[in-house]
Amino acid sequence: EPILGIDAIVGLDVARRKKKRGQGTINYAAGVRIYHSNGEFLKYKLTTSQLESETIPGNILENLLGDIKGKKVMVHRDGRFPQDEIKVLKEMEKNLKTKFYLVEVIKSGAPRIYSEKKGIWVKINENEANLLTTSRTQGTPVPIIVRLPETYEDFSIEDAVISITSMTLLHWGSIKPPRLPVTTHYADKIGQFLLEGIISDLEGYIPFWL
């Protein structure tokens, strides 16, 4: 069943590559993965443009998301949205006549939730929650942080939690259910495949990473 009020769900992430000399990483825009609101995979789009920081520049965002017009789109971001990205997406909303609902999927920093049931979540405030996306197998599961960088009249933190929990069910073929939604999972591996030349097609309709 589709998520009500949403036309598409997009995973947006940045890939990182370790520097050959010295410490730190070089950042690359890995791209986007686009799904219909019922979970059907629609398209992926990648780019190898080098970045100077975690922020994806406006021209790259426009290239990655320019195909989505006139839709209500939920954007899952691997990590936090930099303020510059939010500003660009606000401008794109006007140009594309699109509504973006921004959701941050943060992998670390959440306190443990002592439950064996997947989908349990704790509401911190109107814009943030801790969500348990795996069942207990070994040890105590580690929750993720779900955060809305902005407040929306027609979209709540509960809507974001439901979308992420639902999208964790779409990892077809995985032996162990991952913590992250399919929209952002394997971001680093996809970026590494791209940088090593294993991926030749920068756009496609087959989720090769599953």
Catalytic residue numbers? Answer: 13, 54, 78, 188
The Cβ of residue 47 has, within 10 Å, a number of other Cβ atoms equal to 19
The bridge status of strand 99-106 relative to strand 72-78 is parallel
- Sign of the alpha-carbon torsion through 163, 168, 169, 171: positive
CA distance 204 to 138: 37
Q: Is 172 helix (H, G, I), strand (E, B) or coil?
A: coil
CA-atom Rg of the chain in angstroms:
17
Taking CA atoms, 121 is separated from 7, 106, 112, 116, 192, in Å, by 25, 14, 11, 12, 32
